[in-house]
Amino acid sequence: MAETEESPFGGCLEKLKNYVRTRKGTILAAEILVSFIILICYAASMYGGYTAVAICEMVFAIIFFIVYMFELDKQFLVVNWLWTDLFRAVIGAALYLITSLICVIGGAGDGARIAGGVFGLLAGILFSYDSYTLFLEIKSSRQHTAAPTDDTV
C-alpha cells in the first residue's frame, strides 16, 4: 500500500520542476540564486549594511516565484500581478545597480565587498532583463480596440 501512495510533496516538486523550465521561472530562480550569492558576499565584507538590498530582493523574488508556481495569480485577481512584478523588478534593478556601483568604486581592500558589487551588477542586468520582458508582456496584453465611429451627426 505504501508503494501506491504518493508523497504529499510529489505534486509540489513536479510544479517546481515544471515552473523552473519556463522562462519566467528560470529568471526568478536566477534572481533568487544571485541575490543569495550577493547576500553571502556582503555578509562576509567589512560593511554588512548592504545586505538589506539582497535580503529584500531575494524575499520578494521568492514570494513571486511561489505565487507564479502555484498559479495564485489566477486566483487572487485583486492584485495586478504583472504590474506589481514589473515594479519589483524595476526597483530591484535600480537598487542593485546603485549599491553595486558604490561597492565596486569604494571597496578598495575589501574583496568580499567588490565581489558582491560585481555580482550586484550582474543582478542589476538580470532584473533589468526581467523588467523588459514584463514590459513586453504588459504591452502585448493590452487590447487596442478602435473607437466606434458614427457618421451621423
The DSSP secondary-structure symbol of 29 reads: H
Question: Distance (Å, rounded) from C-alpha 103 to C-alpha 38?
Answer: 12
If one counts the domains in the chain, the total is 1
Q: Is 70 a residue whose pLDDT tops 50? A: yes
pLDDT digits (tens, 9 = 90+) for 108-153: 889 999 999 999 999 999 999 999 999 999 999 886 655 566 666 5
Is residue 149 in a domain?
no
Give the residue from 16, 32, 128 showing the smallest Cα distance to 68: 16
Centroid of chain to Cα 107: 26
* Mean pLDDT of all residues in 37-45: 95
b/e code 64-78 from CB counts within 10 Å (16+ = b): bbebbbeeebeeeee
Is residue 38 in a domain?
yes
In 10 A of CB 115, how many CB atoms?
20
Is residue 153 in a domain?
no
* Mean pLDDT of all residues in 77-97: 96
Is residue 47 in a domain?
yes
Is residue 61 in a domain?
yes
The confidence band for 1, taking pLDDT boundaries of 50, 70 and 90, is very low
* Mean pLDDT of all residues in 88-104: 96
Question: Distance (Å, rounded) from C-alpha 126 to C-alpha 83?
Answer: 18
Q: What is the pTM of this model?
A: 0.85
- Domain range holding 112? 10-139
